[in-house]
Structure 1
């Protein structure tokens, strides 16, 4: 799965990886594509192949070959692992100074504000990253800005960005030398990164037309596929790689490497805005790739992977469509649509 995904993503999904809301017109309140259209035969075939590849990855991890790959990753990423905290702090500092310099941005490029004090708060938050004891202050600032954005743009819009809360938790827990009910800071931010990317995948299926201007400007990115098929495939691959972030050690580390490479390659295509906006999640993915915590993979992981994958897919589709209809449309209609969706 991971090698095939890497080939497809690195060669042709920069447009899908760039956050479309930063570059194209969008309407969060607009009617999303119906679930009956999303869960078509092509979608089910792609999902089935993704599940099969995920199972193969789990089975391979439990072999001597998988152990050798993990050992090699441990050796290659040792310096990154030792400096993970410093890397995250440096990149978050770069992000905060950059949005301060741009001005008029709350957390991401499309979240605009006229409040001048927001920029100065961001600069102060960047300063607090210099000392470990003041990391919780930066974390508190991120949570405040997230809440401020929710107040102005709505919870549904900010559902795109729970990774910010994960970064805040990472900084706070690191600064206080604490865990979150036994979960390490890296585990917390890893989970929020996975949720962020899985939610973004659903948005690719629900609103594929948002990306049409980008694909029209760079038609080579679709590699000859129709924009519809391209976005469907990009969403399935992104969802699978995001799900992999919460699975077994080798699978999640390989997924993090692929996703980080995709986000970095997108910067080449889309420039400074993309570099600033995705800098935080790139740092998180580097930290995940370097994390050497291990729990031996077993055949049980391969057997359970389809169950959890389909459960996650159903949950994200269900929450997205029901929440959207609750906020912007007909909740009864959404519930009826979910009831008629065929089981994958």
Structure 2
């Protein structure tokens, strides 16, 4: 069911998975669509359908069929699992060398810079990936570049990319053979990837007009749906698949496979820039799909799925809109209202 729902996203890969900021004009400080427009009837039935799919996946996981699928995952991904850290290192190395070759980019295509030393730092970071002992240096470099991008473009803009911090943590923890507060390296980067994609899905609802040029150039990607409905559906499916990355083992592994397929499909549409920009998260998703850690799914997971999903949805919507209002202007009175509540809280 989850895979079936995601077929809409797979078929409409261009608008749904390409990072619109890399290919279209955007204005982060611009007024987002009002929450009363986002939380409409179409949004409600789409999230309802997504929840049904998520709960179905949880139910299936506790059955003989679910166990068989997990066992099949384990067999098929055995080699990937053994080499998952090496795959991430190799792909991050490709990513950093590509940035060095392109020049003028901090971490992603829209984060431009005139600093001539950054490409050489990126090349040095790539070289440090060759040895396990020097992985923390690459991790430190990623964190530094992330901080430099925050300084240049602002924290709100870089909220699109916490996956970079997750990759940095993965590299450092792998080198040191340590966990972070009980979370394995793969768990840390999995959570960071989930946060990244859930935040990106909110942006699809807040600024659907950013994708208008892509849809105008490739109208077939909407499969007959209106651009408005298409972007709502793309955001809901992306949010659901991202949420699934932090849920039960089978659900998150299926989600990782679907998301990886979506990002790879987008490369066919958008070419080299998309391949470079999304290479890191594709490698992370492959590692998540190969992860064989299991905690048996229970009925509690099925029952709690709607509560946690709704809480995550409201939290990301709330943080996005309140933060935007505080930083760029109180368009809807949200920041004023939040500030007035602080003394009470």
Range of TM-score over shorter length? over 0.9
Q: What is the Cα deviation at residue 264 of structure 1?
A: 0.0
CA RMSD of aligned residues (A): 1.1
Query: 2-side partners of 1:116 and 1:336: how far apart?
Result: 42
Partner of 2:233: 233
Query: 2-side partners of 1:269 and 1:337: how far apart?
Result: 43
Partner of 1:77: 77
Residue 2 of structure 1 contacts residue 258 of structure 1 at CA under 8 Å; is this kept in 2?
Answer: no
Q: What is the Cα deviation at residue 13 of structure 1?
A: 2.8
Query: 1-side partners of 2:20 and 2:63: how far apart?
Result: 40
5 Å-filtered alignment, 1:201-216, equals: 201-216=201-216
Partner of 1:279: 279
Partner of 2:157: 157
Partner of 2:342: none
Does residue 36 of the first structure (1) align with residue 32 of the second (2)? no
Residue 13 of structure 1 contacts residue 222 of structure 1 at CA under 8 Å; is this kept in 2?
Answer: no
Partner of 1:256: 256
Deviations 1:171-226 (A, max 9, x none): 00001111101110000000000000000000000000000000100110000011
Q: What is the Cα deviation at residue 332 of structure 1?
A: 6.8
Q: What is the Cα deviation at residue 336 of structure 1?
A: 7.6
Query: 2-side partners of 1:16 and 1:48: how far apart?
Result: 20
TM-score, length basis structure 1: 0.97
Deviations 1:109-137 (A, max 9, x none): 00000001000000000000000000000
Query: 1-side partners of 2:55 and 2:217: how far apart?
Result: 37
Stretch deviating more after TM superposition (329-338 or 8-17): 329-338
Deviations 1:33-84 (A, max 9, x none): 0000000000011001111111111001000000000000000000000000
Deviations 1:205-251 (A, max 9, x none): 00000000001001100000111100000000000000000000000
Query: 1-side partners of 2:243 and 2:332: how far apart?
Result: 29
Q: Which runs of 4+ in 1 moved over 6 A?
A: none
Query: 2-side partners of 1:328 and 1:336: how far apart?
Result: 13
Residue 325 of structure 2 contacts residue 335 of structure 2 at CA under 8 Å; is this kept in 1?
Answer: no
> Aligned pairs, how many?
338
Query: 2-side partners of 1:3 and 1:157: how far apart?
Result: 31
| 1:201–1:107 distance in 2 versus 1, CA, 3 Å | same
Residue 13 of structure 1 contacts residue 234 of structure 1 at CA under 8 Å; is this kept in 2?
Answer: no
Query: 2-side partners of 1:34 and 1:337: how far apart?
Result: 16
Deviations 1:150-183 (A, max 9, x none): 0000000000000000000000000111110111
Stretch deviating more after TM superposition (252-261 or 46-55): 46-55
Residue 5 of structure 2 contacts residue 50 of structure 2 at CA under 8 Å; is this kept in 1?
Answer: no
Deviations 1:262-281 (A, max 9, x none): 00000000000000000000
Q: What is the Cα deviation at residue 4 of structure 1?
A: 1.4
Query: 2-side partners of 1:336 and 1:32: how far apart?
Result: 17
Q: What is the Cα deviation at residue 94 of structure 1?
A: 0.1
TM-score, length basis structure 2: 0.96
Partner of 1:309: 309
Query: 2-side partners of 1:189 and 1:101: how far apart?
Result: 26
Query: 1-side partners of 2:60 and 2:162: how far apart?
Result: 31
SS, match of residue 333 in structure 2: helix
Partner of 1:293: 293
Residue 13 of structure 2 contacts residue 265 of structure 2 at CA under 8 Å; is this kept in 1?
Answer: no
Partner of 1:341: none
Gaps spanning 5+ residues in structure 2: where?
A: 339-345
Partner of 1:50: 50
Partner of 1:146: 146
SS, match of residue 130 in structure 1: coil
Query: 2-side partners of 1:3 and 1:131: how far apart?
Result: 38
Partner of 2:244: 244
Does residue 326 of the first structure (1) align with residue 326 of the second (2)? yes
Query: 1-side partners of 2:315 and 2:57: how far apart?
Result: 23
Query: 2-side partners of 1:207 and 1:330: how far apart?
Result: 17
Partner of 2:343: none
